[in-house]
Amino acid sequence: MDNDFLYLNIRLFIFNFFIAIALAKLEIEIEGKYGWAEKLPTWRLKNKWTKLFWGEQPYTGYHFWLLIVLLLFYIFPMLLIPKVGHSLVNFSLRDISFLA
User: What pLDDT sits at residue 92?
Assistant: 56
Tell me if 60 sits within 8 A of 44, measured CB to CB: yes
pTM of the entire structure? 0.57
Tell me which residue range forms the domain holding 63. Answer: 3-99
Element (DSSP H or E) covering residue 41: none
Give 10-residue mean pLDDT values along the chain (100 residues).
71 81 84 75 86 84 84 73 58 52
The predicted pLDDT at position 96 comes to 52
Q: Which amino acid is at 55?
A: G
The angle formed by the CA atoms of residues 76, 57 and 93, to the nearest 5 degrees, is 25
User: Is 88:11 a contact under the CB 8 Å cutoff?
Assistant: no
Distance CA 8, CA 4 (A): 6
Please tell me the predicted confidence (pLDDT) of residue 60: 85
Q: Per the structure, how many domains does the chain have?
A: 1
